[in-house]
Amino acid sequence: MRETEPDVPIENNPAADLQLIVPNLHRRYSGVTATNRAVSPRLAKMFRAAWLGPDKPDGIPEMSFADLLKLWRRGAPLIWHARRNDEMIAGVLLRALGWPLKLLFTSAAQRHHTWLTRWLIRQMDAVIATSSISASFLKREATVVMHGVDADVYAPPPDRAAAFAEAALPGRYAIGCFGRVRAQKGSDVFVETMCRLLPRYPDFTAVMVGAIVPEQQGFANELKKRIEAAGLQSRIVITGELPIEEVQRWYRRLTIFAFTSRNEGFGLTLIEAMSSGAALVASRAGAAELVVEDGVTGVLTLPGDVDALVAALEPLMRDPAAAAAMGERARARVLERYSLDAEAQQIAAVYRTLV
């Protein structure tokens, strides 16, 4: 495959030379968008690639829908790498109308698929699953490629105490829970756990980083009432949605990260927190049981169980030095197994079977 400079505009990357389209047809920023944005620039160094849709990352040319029209009835095959149903639907329709597409789908879901998703998956030329658990729900052959993380971006700070001090929050240590504020993410489990633990550990402040979407405003308001009732408004901080650079700064401020999801596809925050050197307590959701070595690089708990989360977090809050040591082991595991380059190379191997 041909090498390409990461920031070549689509005008200088002729349609005849393209090998890969990365569609992002979802307007709302999500975890799927984040994973796509992370790995696509790496793939654009190996393939003539273009990004179609909003939230384009640096390092890959942007393609407009007018550019897409130029590819109709092109002779050479072109990979269309979908990650959502709407992107699979678009790929199937475009191919039926004469676009020379090889269709690939990445699935992170750990559930039985709807009839529509099952039908769409059958139309794909190849399928990637982000874990062996996700692959088990696909009912067809799939290549397992686990997510990776940019360990240079998600890295421990030179001085974690100084990084925390920048936030001007009470105490000396931060414990975080990142993701949209909603029941699926276990936001309520985290708040209830913090209401129990923070009065015992005055050196800790809890930080929830993530969007509150309109349909979850009522749920978020109930959490805020619970925080106020506990008198912890200054020590349980809900930031709302932040730019990705600010999220990365928050990771570097954490001593402990709580992954509290009731269900997940993969749960990218797991490896982002580990890569940043935070001690991890994670519910057995998404890829947690595959990623975390229980008791070594993190602690696993039952989803939705406040008592279990309290029991897992309290020893780390009582002994921040032990939390720091766990964070170091977690970082080492990410460097060994979950690099972004390794993910890109494995995806590229699937591409090469298609074109």
**pLDDT in the model for residue 34:** 87
Domains of the chain with CATH codes: 10-148+339-354 (3.40.50.2000), 160-337 (3.40.50.2000)
Three-class DSSP category at 120: helix
Q: How far apart are CA 236 and CA 39, in angstroms?
A: 33
Residue closest to 59 by CA, chosen among 42, 73, 78: 42
The full length of the chain comes to 355
- Apex 260 CA angle, 258 and 265, nearest 5: 115
Instruction: Identify the DSSP state of 97.
Output: T
Instruction: Judge if pTM exceeds 0.75.
Output: yes
Task: Kindly tell me if the per-residue pLDDT of 84 is higher than 50.
Answer: yes
pLDDT digits 0-9 by tens, 243-296: 989 999 999 999 999 999 999 989 999 999 999 999 999 999 999 999 999 999
**pLDDT in the model for residue 16:** 60
Q: How far apart are CA 331 and CA 336, in angstroms?
A: 9
**pLDDT in the model for residue 66:** 94
Q: How far apart are CA 349 and CA 355, in angstroms?
A: 11
Instruction: Please give the helix or strand (H or E) that residue 291 lies within, else none.
Output: helix 288-291
**pLDDT in the model for residue 3:** 36
pLDDT digits 0-9 by tens, 2-42: 333 344 444 444 556 899 999 999 888 887 888 999 999 99
Residue 294 sits at φ, ψ, to 5 deg, of -55, 125
Strands 62-63 and 49-52: parallel
111: number of Cβ within 10 Å: 10
What radius of gyration, in Å, describes the C-alpha atoms of the chain?
Answer: 21
Among 31-40, 159-168, 187-196, which stretch is predicted with the lowest mean pLDDT? 31-40
Task: Kindly tell me if the per-residue pLDDT of 72 is higher than 90.
Answer: yes
